[in-house]
């Protein structure tokens, strides 16, 4: 927990460690107003984001690891960037321009988050920046043609920009030949801070009339209406799922692990997602231009995992809000594929805006 502060934007970088293969990894820190962001080159992972609560004290709202070994041994994509394609791809293969491309099957017969390496286990090149009103880190990565099974080479940047009240994650990429690109940020939020054991005391609202149910292989299917289901978050409520335990979809995901199709992505007038922890006074509004958001309530988190501060994992200790393209679109003919062509520039962004409540409601 840090003391209340309101300095101008600043940023710096220090060594964080070396990977098992000998690659150097740096820790980058950006500060602005009452917010402080720490992220590392490995997976471009967010290690912490300190946000003030009602009492003005900043606390880390993300799950993370204390050292590089934690990230190298990670099994839950904690705080990293996932890609080139986030989520599951059925049969670990896709067809593009008449050719079939085989991927790594790292989740049964499916490819999850582009395999066991992808963006999330790559060492990105991070550089800090400071402007008059912002501070942040620009991460860069270049891939080889055919790397991880995807055609063409990618030149991609992920930029973390810290304003006085928000964190924005923006992407920019180009490809040498037609390829799929649909990345996502896989941070686990708990707005109650590191001493809050569960998301049960949170309130979540999702501006989404439809969700994508899962099949028996955990693959997203054609969207259905949320009306009358446990997936209706159009009015704020707890994301805790115990009351829905007998629902087949909740059982398949061991909680929520489902994509919601946002009603008005790109409309900056109202948030697409709102997450609140009344006990701490922290409220987060999410604005995105992506068409979907996967709500994952950490069903696979377990006591075998040891997070920062010695915290042991447990289902429901934090949740991910993965703004992204329609998951499994490569296998669903009714949804457009996320194809990036040479000469195009891929751009997208998601803003996490923080508001501090003055009194508990």
The residues that are catalytic are 186, 322
CA distance 134 to 137: 10
SS3 content of the chain, % helix, strand, coil (to 5): 10, 45, 50
Q: Do you know the residue count of the chain?
A: 361
Q: Which helix (H) or strand (E) holds 251?
A: helix 248-253
Contact (Cβ atoms closer than 8 angstroms) between residue 294 and residue 258: yes
Where residue 120 falls (left for φ over 0; alpha for ψ -120 to 50; beta otherwise) is alpha
Angle 287-36-8 (CA atoms, 0-180°, nearest 5)?
A: 100
Contact (Cβ atoms closer than 8 angstroms) between residue 189 and residue 165: no
> Distances from the Cα of 299 to the Cαs of 110, 254, 303, 324, in angstroms?
18, 5, 12, 20
Contact (Cβ atoms closer than 8 angstroms) between residue 182 and residue 293: no
CA distance 102 to 68: 31
CA distance 144 to 323: 26
């Amino acid at each position: 927990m840090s003391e209340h502060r309101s300095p101008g934007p600043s940023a710096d970088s220090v060594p964080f460690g070396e990977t098992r293969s000998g690659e150097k990894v740096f820790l980058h820190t950006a500060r602005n107003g009452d917010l402080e962001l720490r992220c590392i080159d490995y997976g471009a992972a967010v290690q912490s984001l300190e946000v003030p609560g009602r009492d003005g004290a900043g606390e880390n709202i993300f799950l993370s690891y204390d050292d590089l070994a934690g990230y190298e041994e990670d099994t839950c994509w904690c705080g990293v960037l996932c890609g080139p394609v986030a989520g599951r791809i059925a049969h670990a293969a896709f067809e593009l321009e008449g050719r079939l491309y085989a991927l790594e099957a790292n989740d049964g017969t499916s490819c999850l988050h582009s395999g066991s390496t992808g963006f999330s286990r790559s060492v990105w090149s991070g550089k800090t920046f400071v402007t008059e009103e912002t501070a942040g880190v620009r991460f860069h990565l270049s891939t080889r043609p055919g790397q991880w099974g995807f055609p063409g080479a990618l030149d991609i940047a992920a930029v973390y920009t810290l304003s006085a009240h928000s964190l924005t994650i923006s992407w920019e990429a180009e490809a040498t030949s037609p390829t799929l690109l649909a990345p996502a940020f896989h941070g686990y939020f708990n707005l109650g801070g590191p001493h809050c054991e569960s998301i049960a005391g949170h309130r979540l609202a999702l501006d989404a009339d439809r969700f994508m149910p899962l099949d028996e292989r955990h693959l997203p299917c054609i969207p259905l209406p949320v009306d009358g289901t446990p997936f209706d978050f159009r009015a704020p409520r707890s994301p805790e799922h115990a009351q829905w335990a007998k629902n087949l979809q909740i059982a398949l995901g061991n909680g929520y692990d489902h994509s919601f199709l946002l009603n008005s992505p790109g409309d900056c007038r109202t948030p697409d997602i709102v997450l609140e922890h009344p006990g701490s006074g922290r409220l987060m509004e999410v604005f995105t231009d992506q068409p979907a958001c996967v709500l994952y309530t950490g069903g696979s988190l377990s006591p075998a995992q040891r997070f920062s501060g010695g915290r042991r994992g447990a289902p429901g200790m934090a949740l991910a809000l993965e703004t992204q393209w329609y998951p499994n679109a490569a296998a669903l003919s009714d949804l457009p594929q996320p194809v990036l062509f040479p000469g195009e520039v891929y751009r997208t962004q998601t803003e996490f805006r923080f508001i501090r409540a003055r009194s508990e409601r």
